[in-house]
C-alpha cells in the first residue's frame, strides 16, 4: 500500500500534481546501485486515484550525462501552461563544482501528456552573484493574480554572513512569461536559522496562506509558516511541523476538497534498526487538516486506513503488574510497570484503540512485535509530562547512552480525556496517528513478527475499543 521504488531503489522527494481525478506523483528515484544503474537520479511518475493502488510509469524526466548540468534531476514543480505541461527542476551535478562551475541550476522541460518530456536546452536559470552559486534549487512556480505575473520560490543561500549554517533563505523570482526570471534581492523568507529551506511549497486554505519547507539544520523535519498574505510576513506557530525526522521533503497537492501532503519515510543504512538514517525511502501520504485557529494538523487519509478490513481476535495473554479487564476495558497501572500482551501481529496491518490517562505521571503505550519473553520489542510510548510521543526500541543498541528514542513528536495528553490512536504497519514502515491531529512516522527493520500489547509505567491508563486488523490478501 505504501509505495517504494523497485529493487534496491528508494523514493526521494515527491513532486505532486493533481488532475482529472488522479494524483500524479513525480518522485526522485535513487537507484542505490551505481555499479548497475550508473550515477544520477531521474524523475519517475507514479499515478493513483485512491492513494492506495499505484502505477509506476518509470523514469519520465531522464538524467543527463556526467558532464551535463542535470546528472541528478532534483526537485522542482509541475504546472499546466496553456496546452502543455511544464516542469521546472533542479539540475544538480557535483562534478561541476570541482571545475569551479555551479553545482545547481534551475532547468525546464515541457510535455503534452506528462509521460514524454522534452528538455528546453535554451532555458538555464542560475543564481545571481550575490547568492551562493552551488545552492540554488527546488523551484516552486505559481501565478499571482494581484501582480499579474508568475512567481517562483527557490531554496537558496546568501553568499555572506555568519554563522554560515544560517544563510538559508527562501527566494522569490518573478516572470511575465515563464522564461525570463529575475530574483528579488529581498528574500521571501529569511529566519537566519537554517542551512537552506528545501522543497518550498505554498498554498492557501480559507483565509490563511502556508509556506512549507524542509530543514536539516535543527530537527530534520518538514516545517511550515503562516500568513494572511501569500507574501508574508510569515509566523511560526507553536507546533510548526507535520511529523518527525523520519518523514521528510514533503510537498502537497489538493484534489479540490482536501490537501494531501506527500513525504518520504526514510530508510536506514543496510536497513538495520541501529544504523544511521539515510536519504529516501517510502512515500507516505498525510491529509492536512486546518484547525480553528488556522494552524495545521495531519491525519491518515480515510481510504488508507480502510485497507485493513479483516479483523483478528484480541485476547489477554501474558500479564505483569496490575491488570484488570471489565466490559471491554483494560485498566493497567499504578506504581511500577504493568503490561498485557494481546496477540500476534500480522506482517501488515492496523491497530486501533482508545485510551484515557489518569494523570500526567509516568509513561504508557503499545508494545509491537515483541518476543515471547517481552525482552525485544518496539514501543510506541506516550510521556504526558513531556507532551511527548516517542518510538523506542528494546534491547538498546548502546546501553551507555541515556536516551535512545528513535523518533519523537509533540503530543499532549490531558488526564481524564479520551484519546484515539491509529497505528498502521507494513513491512518496516510504521505510521502512528493520534486524535486525527498528530502523526509520527518510524521504522521497524530488525523484527518482522511478534506480539502486541499495552503497558504502563508509574501511571494508570484505561485502554478500550482495541482492534487488530490485517489486509484481506494475507488470509
Q: Are 215 and 223 in contact (CB under 8 A)?
A: yes
The C-alpha cell at 168 is 538559508
Residue 305 φ then ψ, to 5° = -65, -25
Long-range contacts of 116-125 (CB under 8 A, 24+ apart): 116/60, 117/60, 117/61, 117/62, 117/87, 119/70, 123/179, 124/69, 125/173, 125/181
**Whole-number Å distance between alpha carbons of 352 and 309:** 12
The C-alpha cell at 137 is 534549487
**Whole-number Å distance between alpha carbons of 97 and 334:** 61
User: Over its length of 475 residues, how does the chain's per-residue pLDDT go in tens digits?
Assistant: 899 998 899 999 999 999 999 999 999 999 999 999 999 999 999 999 999 999 999 999 999 999 999 999 999 999 999 999 999 999 999 999 999 999 999 999 999 999 999 999 999 999 999 999 999 999 999 999 999 999 999 999 999 999 999 999 999 999 999 999 999 999 999 999 999 999 999 999 999 999 999 999 999 999 999 999 999 999 999 999 999 999 999 999 999 999 999 999 999 999 999 999 999 999 999 999 999 999 999 999 999 999 999 999 999 999 999 999 999 999 999 899 999 999 999 999 999 999 999 999 999 999 999 999 999 999 999 999 999 999 999 998 887 776 678 999 999 999 999 999 999 999 999 999 999 999 999 999 999 999 999 999 999 999 999 999 998 764 4
The C-alpha cell at 445 is 527493520
DSSP 48-117: ESSSSS-EEEEEEE----TTSTTSEEEEEEEEEETTEEEEEEEEE-HHHHTTTS-SEEEEEEEESSSSS-
The C-alpha cell at 356 is 484515557
305, 351, 425, 429 from 308: Cα distances, Å: 7, 10, 10, 15
* Antiparallel, parallel or unpaired: β 329-344 and 451-470: antiparallel
Long-range contacts of 204-209 (CB under 8 A, 24+ apart): 204/230, 205/259, 205/288, 205/290, 206/290, 206/294, 207/294, 208/290, 208/294
The CATH number of 10-305 is 2.115.10.20
Q: Are 138 and 74 in contact (CB under 8 A)?
A: yes
Domain 310-474: CATH class, spelled out? mainly beta
**Whole-number Å distance between alpha carbons of 167 and 128:** 15
Q: Are 240 and 227 in contact (CB under 8 A)?
A: no
∠ Cα 211 87 143 (to 5°): 50
pTM of the model: 0.97
Q: Identify the CA nearest to 75 among candidates 155, 142, 180, 193.
A: 155
The C-alpha cell at 355 is 485510551
* Antiparallel, parallel or unpaired: β 55-61 and 319-320: unpaired
DSSP 345-387: PPSEEEEEEEEEES-SSSEEEEEEEE-TTSSSEEEEEEEGGGT
Q: How many residues does the chain have?
A: 475
Q: Give me the residue spans of the domains in the chain.
A: 10-305, 310-474
Residue 319, classed as helix, strand or coil, is strand
Summarize pLDDT for 443-475 with one digit per residue, the tens: 999 999 999 999 999 999 999 999 999 987 644
Amino acid at each position: 500500500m505504501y509505495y517504494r521504488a523497485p529493487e534496491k531503489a528508494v523514493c526521494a522527494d515527491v513532486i505532486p500534481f493533481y488532475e482529472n481525478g488522479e494524483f500524479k506523483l513525480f518522485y526522485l528515484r535513487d537507484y542505490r546501485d551505481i555499479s548497475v544503474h550508473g550515477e544520477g537520479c531521474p524523475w519517475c511518475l507514479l499515478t493513483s486515484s485512491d492513494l492506495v493502488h499505484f502505477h509506476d510509469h518509470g523514469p519520465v524526466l531522464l538524467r543527463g550525462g556526467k558532464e551535463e548540468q542535470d546528472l541528478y534531476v532534483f526537485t522542482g514543480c509541475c504546472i499546466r501552461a496553456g496546452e502543455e505541461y511544464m516542469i521546472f527542476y533542479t539540475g544538480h551535478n557535483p562534478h561541476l563544482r570541482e571545475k569551479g562551475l555551479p553545482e545547481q541550476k534551475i532547468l525546464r522541460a515541457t510535455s503534452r501528456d506528462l509521460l514524454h518530456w522534452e528538455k528546453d536546452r535554451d532555458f538555464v536559470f542560475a543564481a545571481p552573484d550575490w547568492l551562493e552559486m552551488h545552492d540554488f534549487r527546488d523551484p516552486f512556480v505559481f501565478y499571482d493574480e494581484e501582480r499579474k505575473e508568475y512567481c517562483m520560490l527557490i531554496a537558496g543561500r546568501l553568499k555572506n554572513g555568519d554563522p554560515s549554517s544560517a544563510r538559508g533563505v527562501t527566494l522569490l523570482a518573478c516572470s511575465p512569461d515563464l522564461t525570463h526570471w529575475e530574483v528579488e534581492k529581498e528574500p521571501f523568507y529569511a529566519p537566519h536559522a537554517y542551512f537552506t529551506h528545501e522543497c518550498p511549497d505554498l498554498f492557501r486554505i480559507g483565509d490563511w496562506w502556508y509556506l512549507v519547507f524542509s530543514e536539516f539544520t535543527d530537527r530534520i523535519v518538514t516545517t511550515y509558516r503562516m500568513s494572511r498574505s501569500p507574501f508574508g510576513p510569515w509566523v511560526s506557530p507553536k507546533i510548526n511541523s507535520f511529523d518527525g525526522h523520519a518523514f521528510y521533503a514533503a510537498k502537497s497537492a489538493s484534489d479540490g476538497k482536501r490537501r494531501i501532503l506527500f513525504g518520504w519515510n526514510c530508510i536506514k543504512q543496510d536497513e538495520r534498526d541501529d544504523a544511521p538514517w539515510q536519504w529516501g525511502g517510502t512515500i507516505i501520504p498525510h491529509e492536512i487538516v486546518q484547525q480553528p485557529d488556522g494552524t495545521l494538523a495531519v491525519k491518515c487519509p480515510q481510504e488508507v486506513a480502510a485497507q485493513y478490513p479483516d479483523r483478528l481476535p484480541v485476547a489477554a495473554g501474558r500479564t505483569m503488574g496490575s491488570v484488570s479487564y471489565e466490559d471491554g476495558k483494560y485498566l493497567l497501572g499504578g506504581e511500577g510497570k504493568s503490561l498485557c500482551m494481546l496477540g500476534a501481529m500480522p506482517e501488515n496491518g492496523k491497530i486501533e484503540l482508545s485510551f484515557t490517562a489518569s494523570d500526567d505521571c509516568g509513561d504508557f503505550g503499545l508494545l509491537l512485535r515483541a518476543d515471547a519473553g517481552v525482552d525485544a520489542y518496539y514501543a510506541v510510548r506516550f510521556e504526558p509530562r513531556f507532551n511527548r510521543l516517542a518510538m523506542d526500541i528494546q534491547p538498546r543498541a548502546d546501553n551507555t547512552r541515556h536516551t535512545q528514542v528513535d523518533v519523537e513528536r509533540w503530543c499532549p495528553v490531558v488526564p481524564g480525556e479520551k484519546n484515539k490512536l491509529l497505528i498502521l504497519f507494513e513491512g518496516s514502515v510504521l505510521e502512528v496517528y493520534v486524535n486525527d491531529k498528530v502523526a509520527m512516522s518510524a521504522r521497524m527493520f530488525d523484527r518482522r513478527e511478534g506480539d502486541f500489547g499495552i503497558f504502563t509505567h508509574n501511571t494508570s491508563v484505561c485502554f478500550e475499543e482495541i482492534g487488530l486488523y490485517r489486509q484481506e490478501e494475507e488470509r
